[in-house]
């Protein structure tokens, strides 16, 4: 084995944080150093030039020692695993001609100054590694045999013997199968008929396919409540909403996602033969899906949340015959955060058991995992929620030690692809995507158990790990298939999720009406030691199963080869209804059973529920002042700013985003919903909004459920949708099933929603349940038990005819106006944010008492949007009216005089109740007409005038003619943002968090102030002859090619999709193009440095290097590199004339992915792209993790700068967050001496139209100023 020593593995601030934590645990001062170590399966380094190339790629040198010192500790991946890092590093090494060294792994060498590592406590060791994915190596000798591959483990056979039920019960416990007694009896009878013993692969497969997680047994059960039978299953009640309002729903309940009716669009596709991008008139429909990934996130937050997002993406991709995910949402419910040095008085719950992550760890790491997967895959994250809750109420401990991790989104599916085709005998059965690995084994069954019922090792074994770059490759294959329309080679496709192939392949065959004859050893694997059960049942991610007719197999194989996406033909469909999985290495089949036994009618569950109520109590508020209430409520995570969860997620990739979380020129994260386009030219799109009021369910689960539906609708109200009947809901149900009273509470919540939805003309065509939401553990006080209240998370989706018709919470200061409250409630404070922070009961909980009024509110606001008389709009929710108005004031950067009226007998209740309602800003001149419309809708009693804007930056609150309080907005902004700041400071570079927090309280900052010194061409210029061709260049992992292609097409180019594999194979040559655009994304997952692997695969390939050199030398040709393309082209500067002074790009100063709308100044440079644009200051999208420029001599003086991040005065800045990456002098774009080659870290190509901005000046026209760049390139060729 070769051992190489690389760079520092951790930044100084992170090492200091770790050292402090270890010192506290050890009771003595400790200092740490950390270095990268590379382990390579080869006997020795190669000779030159390969040696130099290898060391250069890894930025490493041979490790000087063959042993670890007493103060050293090695953190390595778990033995027998192949990490996503390793697989991507191997791809790079293969591309660079170093395939002999592609068996590689990455480790971290810690040096501990202050004590021998043998004295490190277990608690300290847990701080230094993730026990889910890593192991501690004490001696380098322990690495011997690290890469050795064992022989396959044998198939296990369970001998049923004379007592089959007892034998199965024993294996049920040993394997963590979670089989019920009825299911064990069912299997005993089934194998009695088959007259043989089951294999362990068959048992594990049955357990996964029939787990609560996969089969939703409680939702399909029969019921009796309080001793009386009740009609209808829970699923039947949900389905009744669709039966009552089916309009606009195309697919419900019978696929991986629901599909709702969309619009006629100009679909943007690539020609299957030539690769040229083109538009095709088609009808695009909208997919909707929301999942949860609670158990894995509780055990290991980062990979748990990452694979939750990845699994939901696959659900969308695998709908019908293939589809494209468009936008993501993400949410978390956890227990008390208990931020160090900032623990709040209400955070009193006992800490979570050691096998589970704490709420703080979940919210530090989980959102990063979800964001990272979406970022690398290339899906903008536009919506979310975050709640922390725990409370001892009614002799119970309520809360979310077992968290909710919500992952969902919307997608686009072509009109002819919405339904899967029936399969025929002989159809080839394909596994597409990554290899099998021993991860996630038993995940479906583990997710079906309450935390504490299973062994901790089984918990850890059941969590998956994700590789979004692999999923991007698979998505590109699926896209190339469905874009062919009727010629789509995919007949049916399923995602691989819970249960792995053991669940997905039987589903594919069963749904297609066939059986299957498969060969186990055709399944791609990175671990040849896997037993048949492990190979069949593991939950390795980024995989799909699909069926292709034999005559289309060659074409499908060519698509996979072009995208470098692994695939395997594992067998064929059969006509006997049987699943046969042969094993050529064994003496019997791993699986041989009728599909009907596996997926047929296993015993139906019967639930006996008893109602148990939690008494409603009320305490006075006489001792609480309004200022005390304000300060405490703003510290509650559900109320405060969520910015630390927003800026880590790319919100613009794909170029179809319209409305993200950030509002106004000050970019305040307070938007109510998310909006995306369906194409690059039209106005049609879709919207989504979340509603959840879970703490109310402690007292009244039905009220909580109704309020969740209501909140989703009020969040959506400010966007003009097609109509209310076309709003469709996803319902995600969580409960502690089996806990006293909770089955009845779940039933009551479902019944309430089933009754409410028809009254509102809404339906629920998709959803998910997770019914093991309790945690049991022992501590010094004995057994502890925390249960989550019945938790319904509602996501409303709707088609939007014109995405420009929506309003945000940003108050307008250019119009004389009033604020109006439409109040649908009764000032109830039960389980409000105020009740939570005061830890006292405050009476009954809010409820939706009149569905007709909610419908009238929604319809009236929609009508006002048509009349263009609403200036701003924001719903009332957590934190009540006070928080609603505060967020509007912050977004509008203006003061508000809030008047509760003369009859406000209980100001605290008026300010902090969380009843359903909306606040809208309207012009004085429209006030009378608006009052008339609300009266016409029967809402005159609900409407009241509550305030007006004022010059002073204050929130000035009055009631009964008296001032109740007056608070300065800068101070309120800091209080509102403090939780987010403290979380960011724990997670990212603390200096950056400090600078951002200081900026939050600086009211003098003007926000984004554009200055445009040129005219934007209104249409494509008329040019003679054929359109010049531009190569839209991408490598595996790149995800920004579509918006780049559309930008060049809009400017008059023919844009051609060119994969690096096309250049390698000779299918395309750069000499055939006038221009080259290297696109953004994550080539090779940014392993070995962002863009570095891509660049080295060119430099270390003589033919490719010469082809690129000739292109750059040709004075008739131009090139543009954006983000990952910028990083790649900068690393090619040795073959690009006039770029010697260009920098390298390294990890951002914050050590975090930064996604922001940033202000840049366009410099006077020779860049052809910025002709006539110098002096302008424009907002542009930032979305990168490694954008900090580092110059060879530390000084950028010689570099021709094209773009800089600037401050309010227009000067280049290094201050965060105005400069999100920390580049010197704000440098974020450069050009070559001649101006023909330009590199940019920001993304102008994502802002083709004004509608793509989260905020832009109202006077801008349809096209964004950044389109001038691309027109300049076209004009240069003339």
Token pair of 620, please?
A: 């006075």
Coil vs helix vs strand at 313:
helix
DSSP-assigned states of every residue in 169-229 = HHHHHHHT----HHHHHHHHHHHHHHTSPPBHHHHHHHHHHTSHHHH-TTTTSEEEETTEE
Determine whether 1224 is exposed, middle or buried from the number of CB atoms within 10 Å of its CB (0-12, 13-18, 19+).
Answer: middle
Token pair of 241, please?
A: 């909403």
Q: Contact, 402 vs 362, CB < 8 A?
A: no
Catalytic-labelled residue, pool 202, 316, 572, 1245: 1245
Q: Which helix (H) or strand (E) holds 1270?
A: helix 1267-1277
Sequence-ordered list of residues with C-beta below 8 angstroms from that of 330, at least 6 positions apart, any chain: 305, 309, 367, 370, 371, 374, 381, 383, 384, 405, 406, 407, 408, 645, 649
Sequence-ordered list of residues with C-beta below 8 angstroms from that of 600, at least 6 positions apart, any chain: none
The sign of the CA dihedral 89, 91, 93, 96 is negative
User: Measured in whole angstroms, how far is the alpha carbon of residue 545 from the centre of its chain?
Assistant: 23
DSSP H stretches of helix in 777-879: 833-838, 851-866
Tell me how far apart the alpha carbons of residues 1064 and 1056 are, in angstroms, rounded to a whole number.
16
* Angstrom distances, CA of residue 1173 to CA of 67, 1177, 1228: 59, 9, 16
Residue 476 among the catalytic residues: no
Tell me how far apart the alpha carbons of residues 1136 and 1108 are, in angstroms, rounded to a whole number.
9
- Residue 1059 — φ and ψ, nearest 5°? -90, 150
Token pair of 622, please?
A: 């006489």
Burial code (b: 16+ CB inside 10 Å, e: under 16) for 385-419 equals bbbbbbbebbebbbbbbbbbbbbbbbbbbbbebbe
DSSP H stretches of helix in 544-619: 553-563, 595-599
Question: Which residues, listed in sequence order, are joined to residue 1233 by a DSSP beta bridge?
Answer: none
- Selection from 383, 331, 337 nearest residue 361 by Cα: 337
Catalytic-labelled residue, pool 699, 874, 1243, 1271: 1243
The overall longest dimension of the chain from CA atoms, in Å, is: 89
Token pair of 961, please?
A: 């003619």
Tell me how far apart the alpha carbons of residues 150 and 147 are, in angstroms, rounded to a whole number.
9
| E-assigned strand segments in 1071-1115 | 1075-1078
Catalytic-labelled residue, pool 1123, 1154, 1184, 1271: 1123
User: How many distinct helices (H) and strands (E) make up the chain?
Assistant: 36, 52
Q: Distance between the two ends of the chain, CA-based, in angstroms?
A: 57
Q: Contact, 885 vs 877, CB < 8 A?
A: no
Other CB atoms within 10 A of residue 997 CB: 19
Going edge to edge, which strands form the sheet with 490-495?
490-495, 543-548, 428-433, 567-574, 515-519, 578-582, 591-594
- Selection from 800, 631, 633 nearest residue 722 by Cα: 800
Residue 1243 among the catalytic residues: yes
Angle in degrees, 0-180, between the axes of helices 1092-1099 and 50-58, rounded to the nearest 10:
170
Burial code (b: 16+ CB inside 10 Å, e: under 16) for 824-834 equals bbebbbbbbbb
Sequence-ordered list of residues with C-beta below 8 angstroms from that of 965, at least 6 positions apart, any chain: 626, 627, 630, 957
- Selection from 960, 841, 848 nearest residue 899 by Cα: 960
Token pair of 922, please?
A: 């309207």
Residue 1079 among the catalytic residues: no
DSSP H stretches of helix in 524-604: 532-537, 553-563, 595-599
Q: Which residue has the tokens 């880590």?
A: 648
Give the catalytic positions in this structure.
1123, 1243, 1245
């Amino acid at each position: 084995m070769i051992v190489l020593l690389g760079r520092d593995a951790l930044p100084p601030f992170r090492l200091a944080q770790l050292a402090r934590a270890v010192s506290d645990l050890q009771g003595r001062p400790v200092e740490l150093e950390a270095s990268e170590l590379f382990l390579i399966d080869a006997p020795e380094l190669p000779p030159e030039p390969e040696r130099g190339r290898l060391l250069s790629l890894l930025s490493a040198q041979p490790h000087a020692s063959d042993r670890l010192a007493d103060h050293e500790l090695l953190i390595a991946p778990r033995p027998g695993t192949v990490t996503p890092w390793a697989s991507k590093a191997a791809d790079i090494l293969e591309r660079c001609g170093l395939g002999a060294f592609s068996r590689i792994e990455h480790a971290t060498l810690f040096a501990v100054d202050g004590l021998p590592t043998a004295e490190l406590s277990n608690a300290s060791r847990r701080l230094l590694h993730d026990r889910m994915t890593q192991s501690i190596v004490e001696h380098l000798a322990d690495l011997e045999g690290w890469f050795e591959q064992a022989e396959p483990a044998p198939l296990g056979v369970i001998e049923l013997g004379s007592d089959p039920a007892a034998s199965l019960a024993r294996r049920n416990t040993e394997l963590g199968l979670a089989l019920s007694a009825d299911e064990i009896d069912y299997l005993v009878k089934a194998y009695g008929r088959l007259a043989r013993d089951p294999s362990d692969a068959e048992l594990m497969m049955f357990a996964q396919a029939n787990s609560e997680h996969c089969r939703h047994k409680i939702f399909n059960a029969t019921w009796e409540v309080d001793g009386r039978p009740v009609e209808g299953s829970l699923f039947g009640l949900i389905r009744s909403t669709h039966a009552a309002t089916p309009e606009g729903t195309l697919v419900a309940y019978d696929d991986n996602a629901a599909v709702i009716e969309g619009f006629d669009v100009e679909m943007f596709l690539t020609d299957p033969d030539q690769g040229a991008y083109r538009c095709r008139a088609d009808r695009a429909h909208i997919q909707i899906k929301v999942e949860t990934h609670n158990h894995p996130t509780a055990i290991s937050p980062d990979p748990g949340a990452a694979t939750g997002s990845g699994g939901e993406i696959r659900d969308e991709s695998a709908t019908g015959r293939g589809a494209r995910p468009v936008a993501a949402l993400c949410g978390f419910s956890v227990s008390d955060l208990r931020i160090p040095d900032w623990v709040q008085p209400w955070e009193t719950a006992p800490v979570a058991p050691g096998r589970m992550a704490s709420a703080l760890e979940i919210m530090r790491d989980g959102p990063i995992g979800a964001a990272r997967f979406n970022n690398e895959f290339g899906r903008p994250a536009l919506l979310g929620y975050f709640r922390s809750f725990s409370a001892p109420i009614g002799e119970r401990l309520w809360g979310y030690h077992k968290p909710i991790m919500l992952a969902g989104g919307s997608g686009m599916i072509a009109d002819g692809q919405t339904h899967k085709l029936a399969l025929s005998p002989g159809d080839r059965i394909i596994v597409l995507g990554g290899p099998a690995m021993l991860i996630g084994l038993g995940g479906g069954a583990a997710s079906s158990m309450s935390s504490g019922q299973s062994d901790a090792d089984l918990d850890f074994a059941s969590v998956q790990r994700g590789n979004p770059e692999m999923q991007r490759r698979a998505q590109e294959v699926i896209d190339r298939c469905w874009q062919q329309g009727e010629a789509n080679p995919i007949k049916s496709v399923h995602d691989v999720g819970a249960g792995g192939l053991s669940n997905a392949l039987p589903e594919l065959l069963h749904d297609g009406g066939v059986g299957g004859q498969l060969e186990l050893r055709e399944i791609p694997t990175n671990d040849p030691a896997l037993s048949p059960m492990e190979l069949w049942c593991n939950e390795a991610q980024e995989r799909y199963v699909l069926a292709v007719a034999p005559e289309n197999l060659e074409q499908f194989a060519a698509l996979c080869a072009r995208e470098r996406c692994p695939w395997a033909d594992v067998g064929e469909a059969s006509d006997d209804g049987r699943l046969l999985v042969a094993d050529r290495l064994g003496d019997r089949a791993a699986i041989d059973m009728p599909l009907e036994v596996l997926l047929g009618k296993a015993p139906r569950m019967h639930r006996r529920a008893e109602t148990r109520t939690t008494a409603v109590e009320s305490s006075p508020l006489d001792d609480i002042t309004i200022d005390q209430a304000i300060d405490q409520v703003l510290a509650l995570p559900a109320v405060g700013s969520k910015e630390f969860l927003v800026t880590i997620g790319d919100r613009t990739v794909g170029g179809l985003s319209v409305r993200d979380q950030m509002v106004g020129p000050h970019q305040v994260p307070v938007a109510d919903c998310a909006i995306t386009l369906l194409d690059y030219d039209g106005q049609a799109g879709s919207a989504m909004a979340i509603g959840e009021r879970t703490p109310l369910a402690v007292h009244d689960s039905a009220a909580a459920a109704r309020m969740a539906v209501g909140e989703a609708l009020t969040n959506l109200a400010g966007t003009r949708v097609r109509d209310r009947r076309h709003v469709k809901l996803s319902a995600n149900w969580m409960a502690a099933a089996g806990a006293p009273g909770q089955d009845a509470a779940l039933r009551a919540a479902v019944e309430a929603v089933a009754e409410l939805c028809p009254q509102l003309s809404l339906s629920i065509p998709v959803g998910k349940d997770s019914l093991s939401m309790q945690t049991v553990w022992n501590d010094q006080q004995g057994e502890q038990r925390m249960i989550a209240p019945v938790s319904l998370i509602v996501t409303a989706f709707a088609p939007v005819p014109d995405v420009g018709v929506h309003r945000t919470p940003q108050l307008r200061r250019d119009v004389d106006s009033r604020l109006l409250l439409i109040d649908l409630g009764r000032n109830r404070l039960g389980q409000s944010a105020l009740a939570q922070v005061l830890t006292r009961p405050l009476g009954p909980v809010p409820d939706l008492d009149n569905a007709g009024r909610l419908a009238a509110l929604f319809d009236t606001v929609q009508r006002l949007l048509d009349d263009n008389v609403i200036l701003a709009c924001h719903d009332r929710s957590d934190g009540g009216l006070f928080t609603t108005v505060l967020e509007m004031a912050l977004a509008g950067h203006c003061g508000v005089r809030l008047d509760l009226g003369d009859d406000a007998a209980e100001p605290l209740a008026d300010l902090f109740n969380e009843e359903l309602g909306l606040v809208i800003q309207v012009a004085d001149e429209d006030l009378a007409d608006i009052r008339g419309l609300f009266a016409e809708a029967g809402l005159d009693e609900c409407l009241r005038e509550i305030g007006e804007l004022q010059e002073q930056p204050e929130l000035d609150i009055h009631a009964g003619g008296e001032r109740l309080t007056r608070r300065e907005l800068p101070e309120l902004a800091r209080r509102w943002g403090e939780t987010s700041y403290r979380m960011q400071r724990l997670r990212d570079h603390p200096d950056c968090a400090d600078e951002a927090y200081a900026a939050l309280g600086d009211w003098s900052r003007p926000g984004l102030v554009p200055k445009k010194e040129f005219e934007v061409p209104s249409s494509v210029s008329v040019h003679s002859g054929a359109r010049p061709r531009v190569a839209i260049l991408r490598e595996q992992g790149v995800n920004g090619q579509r918006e780049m292609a559309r930008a060049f097409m809009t400017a008059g180019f023919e844009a051609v999709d060119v994969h690096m594999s096309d250049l390698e194979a000779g299918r395309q040559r750069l000499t055939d193009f006038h221009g080259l655009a290297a696109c953004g994304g994550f080539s090779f997952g940014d392993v070995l440095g962002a863009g570095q692997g891509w660049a080295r695969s060119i430099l270390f390939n003589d033919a490719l290097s010469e082809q690129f050199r000739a292109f750059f030398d040709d004075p008739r040709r131009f090139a543009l590199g954006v983000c990952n393309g910028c990083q790649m082209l900068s690393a090619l500067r040795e073959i690009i004339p006039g770029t010697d002074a260009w920098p390298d790009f390294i990890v951002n100063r914050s050590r975090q992915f930064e996604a922001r709308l940033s202000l840049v100044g366009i410099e006077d440079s020779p860049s052809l792209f910025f002709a006539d644009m110098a002096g302008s200051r424009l907002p542009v999208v930032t979305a990168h993790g490694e954008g900090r420029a580092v110059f060879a001599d530390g000084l950028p003086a010689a570099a021709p700068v094209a773009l800089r991040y600037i401050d309010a005065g227009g000067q280049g800045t290094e201050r965060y967050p105005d400069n999100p990456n920390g580049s010197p002098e704000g440098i974020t774009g450069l050009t070559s001496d001649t101006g023909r080659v330009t590199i940019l870290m920001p993304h102008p190509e994502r802002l083709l139209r004004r509608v793509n901005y989260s905020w832009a000046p109202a006077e801008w026209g349809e096209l964004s100023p950044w389109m001038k760049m691309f027109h300049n390139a076209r004009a240069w060729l003339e």
